[in-house]
Structure 1
Amino acid sequence: MTTYALLLRGINVGGHRKVPMAQLRSVLEELGHRDVRTYLQSGNAVFTTEPTDGGDTDEELAAAIEAAIEKHFGFRVDCLVRDHAYLTAVAADCPFPAAELEGKQLHAFYFSGPVTEERYAALDRDSFLPEAFALGDRVLYLYAPEGLGRSKLGEALSRPALHKDVTVTARNWNTVAKLAEMTAPQS
């Protein structure tokens, strides 16, 4: 059995694309996933599943969940699925002093695939200081001292043109840590 975190992109924002967490749990259970739990209303779930003979990949699990959500709710929602090892590696590899910051000051932008520095070459990083970002394994770390809502760098990084070929969804550091904790193997 493997425990995964499910990250939904762009739901329950401003009353649009409503996905009630109780219904999301039911959709995941109908797919055969177990121990389904949700975290907050912004599209975070944790579930345990039995690997198939071929060994489901994160992408295959995400695709199956996207199809089930579309069938149930009538609209498409991009999803990312990540296991505990990945989530703890993201937390451990953070180049910013996470333990010294408030959760709202640090964010992880999770990507469906790898991204390189070239993607962001046109951004003048110095013009956004003290805000800063760094890339990791399918993740971008954003340090925004005033929070994401006031972040000019966060706004620049969220431009659709920068992510036209990947799915991206952001979580604050409190959620990053909580999902790593929730996916930890149970003893």
Structure 2
Amino acid sequence: MPVYVALLRAVNVGGTGKLAMADLKAVCDELGFAGAKTFIQSGNVVFRSDLPEPAVQAKLEQALAAKMGKAPGVLLRSRRQLDDIAAKAERFLVPSRTCC
């Protein structure tokens, strides 16, 4: 079952778009996503689903819009996509230098 990471835009930032992480987890559970886990008040959630990515994205956006009264931006990435991003980013990392 594929692993997805959903990064919610403008959630719990500056007093707007408040969403308790327990509520975010509950939304994912209600949608049938497996093993939903959140991280602090970040608006980020990791879960598993057999649905194709476009269906996961649409279901999550609709459920969050219903829960919050407006749809936050949802950036959805699969584990494979995140692994590829991390592997490509390594070539841009510069060794740190000791200052002065």
Q: TM-score, normalised by structure 2?
A: 0.86
1:180 aligns to what? none
Moved runs in structure 1, 4+ residues, more than 6 A? Answer: none
Residue 26 (1) aligns with residue 26 (2): yes
Q: What is the SS of the residue equivalent to 2:92?
A: coil
1:5-46 alpha-carbon deviations (Å, 9 max, x no partner): 111111101111101100000001000011000023121100
Q: CA deviation at 1:60?
A: 2.7
Q: Which amino acid aligns with 2:17?
A: R
Q: Which amino acid aligns with 1:61?
A: V
Q: CA deviation at 1:50?
A: 2.4
**Cα RMSD for the two superposed structures:** 1.5
Higher relative contact order (Cα pairs below 8 Å, separated by 6+ residues):
2
Share of identical aligned residues, percent?
A: 36
- Gaps of at least 5 residues in structure 2 are none
Q: 2:87 aligns with which of 72, 76, 92?
A: 92
- Gaps of at least 5 residues in structure 1 are 102-187
Q: TM-score, normalised by structure 1?
A: 0.48
1:128-176 alpha-carbon deviations (Å, 9 max, x no partner): xxxxxxxxxxxxxxxxxxxxxxxxxxxxxxxxxxxxxxxxxxxxxxxxx
1:65-109 alpha-carbon deviations (Å, 9 max, x no partner): 0100011121111102111111011000014217x46xxxxxxxx
